[in-house]
Structure 1
Amino acid sequence: MASVKYTEEHEWVRLDGDVATIGITDYAQQQLGDVVFVEVPQVGRKVEKGESVAVVESVKAASDIFAPVSGEVVEANAALTDSPGDVNAEPTGKGWFFKLRIADKAELDGLMDEEAYDAFVKNLG
């Protein structure tokens, strides 16, 4: 099974070989409310860890989606352009944002596992 890691910006990273699928967590979509617009990155774009890569807008706010690791965008979820509500309905499923070919797997070491992320979210309340 692919391992999943989490960032303090409420992104999830599902690793499959050297490709990471990135989206936002259920907690993040709940905080945003109804998602009305998503902008995904161009395929082929090279990104640095921490760089703003995508945008999600809800009825409440607009938020950047950051690259949790450095790499090259190999796929973007263009379906979100027409169906931004997928982010609310299935944030860890068909509501994913983009896939990166990871430049340096060591960057994953700074991310949280599910247990650590759950504890992080509990402490935000």
Structure 2
Amino acid sequence: MSEVKFSEDHEWIVVDGDIGTVGITEFAQEQLGDVVFVEVPEEGKELEQGDEAAVVESVKAASEVLAICDGEVIEGNEALADEPSLVNSAPMGEGWFYKVKISDPSQLDELMDADAYKTFIEGQG
């Protein structure tokens, strides 16, 4: 299985070749509470690292999901429109947000591995 990488904005990416699948972390969905709406990016949208890629709304707040790397969206998870609670029940699985064709793989070097992310969120408490 591909290694999962994490951003300080609580997004994750799993890379397979030049394609990355992106979602929000378990920690992020716990902070949000019950997710009631998700807007994923459309296929073909060009993303730049740090720009808004998607929107997630919960009973507590609305949040932006930031682009974890530069690239072109090749698929948005349409299942989230009908069932936004997938973000809560399976944030690292069926609750993914979008798939991106990565244009600058070196940006992934800035991300944390699972151990570094765990240490990072322990410092958030």
TM-score by length of 1: 0.99
Q: What's 2:114 paired with?
A: 114
SS of the residue corresponding to residue 95 of structure 1 reads coil
Alpha-carbon separation, structure 2, partners of 1:9 and 1:70:
15
Large movers: runs of 4+ above 2 Å: none
TM-score by length of 2: 0.99
Q: What's 1:17 paired with?
A: 17
Structure 1 vs Structure 2 CA RMSD = 0.4
Gaps of 5+ in 1: none
Is residue 63 of structure 1 aligned with residue 68 of structure 2? no
Alpha-carbon separation, structure 1, partners of 2:42 and 2:86:
20
| Aligned-pair identity (%) | 55
Alpha-carbon deviation of 1:122? 0.3
Alpha-carbon separation, structure 2, partners of 1:76 and 1:99:
6
SS of the residue corresponding to residue 116 of structure 2 reads helix
Matches of residues 19-98 of structure 1 in structure 2 within 5 Å? 19-98=19-98
Alpha-carbon separation, structure 2, partners of 1:23 and 1:108:
15
Alpha-carbon deviation of 1:3? 1.3
Gaps of 5+ in 2: none
Amino acid at match of 1:115: D
SS of the residue corresponding to residue 63 of structure 1 reads strand
Q: What's 1:6 paired with?
A: 6
